[in-house]
């Protein structure tokens, strides 16, 4: 297939999480592609480094000053590596001379200067001289690049957190912005792309506070034309035609409701709201002398009457036979007898003492399914899956369950469930 046939003709959105997981999402078709590239805290971007029309990943590693460019959206080594700029410089990817090839330019927030560079760095070497250098914006402005006027040449845009304005220029020259408008909230992360394929790039915003990305098809004040759930650093590009998700979930979880297992009513007046940002596994820590609802009613009694908590500590229980039980409403943060802040944690307890017991295959199967559902439902990466002992001094969730976390087996099972179409769960 010729490379051009893979070009979608529109820009999609990429979200890159703190662990280096890339999620490419086509906001129009729902197509998506996920892969690992880079290290935690690398600065991600995308561009067409080999001039075939398809954008692929790039990274700036601040700790070493290196840039890594790859020509396919997949896990693998960089095809080009070079040194980039000075510490504090921000890489801005784009086609700054309209030749059909993307390069990396420098935005230097310290003195609000732009250094336009139309060649990629030499492999193993450094960047060449800037073709143009000029001042644009104020120190501290957040830069991005795009083609605001449709002439196929990318130029700089800035978002200024102090006044909430976006400033766009159509020239590689100092001077006032050609377009400026009020857009976004404090803390928003700006980026740009051609979401509707009309040849004009417009500004998108990722808002960490709501774990949502907002896309607008004109460079003007107003509401989003499209929104995308999920957290990470936002990037944009024509990543080619992304695989569309298979229709319908790959599997459905049946959850036993609180009413069915005979839970006490929660003391909802004492709940604290939170928003789920990670997925955390506990074990019950008690051996399986009894199992099922009588056991869970006992846990809940201890948590409410013994510990003084408003409800069972956990959001989901996974029984010995893999049955999934409704716990605390996940809109509210859980509780713990150990020293860590449970805000943001979706807490799953797996029945057993996995210092002694081994998790049953049915439990592991249900655990992966519940985590896959939660990952998609809350827009949090499977990379956030961890055990209680990653957050507090405890043996929980026990060595025999921890082994599936440290080997990566649980996360990869969760990812493959998502890739196969995800998991359905009707919370009772």
- In the complex, which residues of this chain contact Ca ion (CB under 5 A)? 48, 50, 52, 54, 95, 97, 99, 101, 147, 149, 151, 153, 194, 196, 198, 200
Q: Which two tokens stand for residue 51?
A: 């001039």
In the complex, least distance from residue 51 CB atom to Ca ion, rounded to whole angstroms? 7
Our CB check for Ca ion shows the closer of 149 and 351 to be 149
For Ca ion, the closer CB: 144 or 332: 144
Give dist(CA 319, CA 90) in Å, integer: 50
Q: How far is the CB of 91 from Ca ion (least distance, A)?
A: 15
Closest to Ca ion by CB, 199 vs 308, is 199
Count other C-beta atoms under 10 Å from residue 98's C-beta: 12
Q: Which is nearer to Ca ion, 42 or 97 (CB)?
A: 97
Smallest gap from residue 202 Cβ to Ca ion (A): 5
User: Closer CB to Ca ion, residue 193 or residue 334?
Assistant: 193
CA atoms of 385 and 279, how far apart (whole Å): 5
Cβ closer to Ca ion: 64 or 74?
A: 74
Question: At closest approach, how far in Å is the CB of 215 from Ca ion?
Answer: 10
Q: How far is the CB of 142 from Ca ion (least distance, A)?
A: 20
163 or 198, CB closer to Ca ion? 198
| Shortest Å distance, C-beta 179 to Ca ion | 11
Q: How far is the CB of 72 from Ca ion (least distance, A)?
A: 8
Structure tokens at 105: 């330019």
């Amino acid at each position: 297939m010729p490379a051009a046939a893979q070009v979608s003709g529109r820009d999609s959105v990429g979200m890159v999480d703190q662990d280096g997981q890339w999620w490419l999402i086509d906001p129009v078709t729902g197509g998506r592609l996920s892969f690992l590239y880079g290290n935690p805290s690398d600065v991600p971007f995308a561009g067409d480094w080999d001039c075939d029309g398809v954008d692929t990943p790039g990274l700036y590693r601040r700790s070493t000053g290196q840039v890594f460019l790859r020509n396919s959206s997949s896990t693998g080594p960089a095809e080009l590596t070079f040194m980039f700029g000075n510490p504090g410089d921000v890489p801005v990817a784009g086609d700054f001379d309209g030749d059909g090839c993307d390069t990396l330019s420098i935005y230097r927030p310290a003195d609000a200067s732009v250094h336009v560079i139309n060649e990629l760095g030499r492999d193993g070497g450094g960047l060449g001289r800037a073709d143009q250098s000029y001042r644009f914006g104020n120190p501290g402005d957040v830069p991005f690049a795009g083609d605001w006027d449709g002439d196929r040449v990318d130029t700089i845009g800035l978002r200024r957190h102090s006044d909430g304005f976006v400033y766009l220029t159509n020239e590689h020259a100092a001077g006032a912005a050609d377009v400026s408008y009020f857009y976004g909230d404090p803390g928003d992360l700006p980026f740009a792309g051609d979401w509707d394929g009309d040849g004009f790039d417009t500004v998108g915003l990722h808002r960490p506070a709501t774990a949502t990305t907002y896309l607008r098809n004109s460079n003007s004040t107003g509401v989003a034309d499209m929104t995308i759930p999920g957290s990470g650093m936002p990037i944009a590009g024509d990543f080619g035609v992304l695989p569309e998700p298979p229709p319908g979930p790959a599997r459905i979880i049946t959850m036993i409701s609180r009413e069915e297992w005979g839970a006490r009513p929660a003391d909802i007046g004492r709940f604290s709201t939170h928003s789920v940002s990670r997925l955390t596994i506990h074990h019950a820590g008690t051996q399986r002398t009894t199992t099922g609802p009588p056991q869970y009613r006992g846990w809940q009694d201890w948590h409410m009457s013994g510990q003084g908590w408003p409800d069972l500590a956990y959001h989901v229980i996974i029984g010995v036979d893999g049955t999934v039980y409704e716990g605390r409403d996940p809109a509210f943060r859980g509780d713990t007898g150990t020293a860590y802040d449970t805000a943001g944690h979706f807490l799953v307890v797996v029945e057993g003492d996995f210092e002694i017991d081994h998790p049953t295959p049915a439990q592991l199967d249900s655990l992966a399914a519940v985590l896959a559902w939660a990952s998609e439902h809350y827009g949090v990466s499977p990379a956030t899956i961890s055990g209680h002992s990653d957050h507090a001094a405890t043996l929980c969730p026990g060595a025999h369950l921890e082994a599936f976390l440290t080997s990566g087996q649980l996360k990869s099972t969760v990812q493959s469930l998502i890739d196969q179409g995800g998991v359905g769960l009707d919370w009772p």
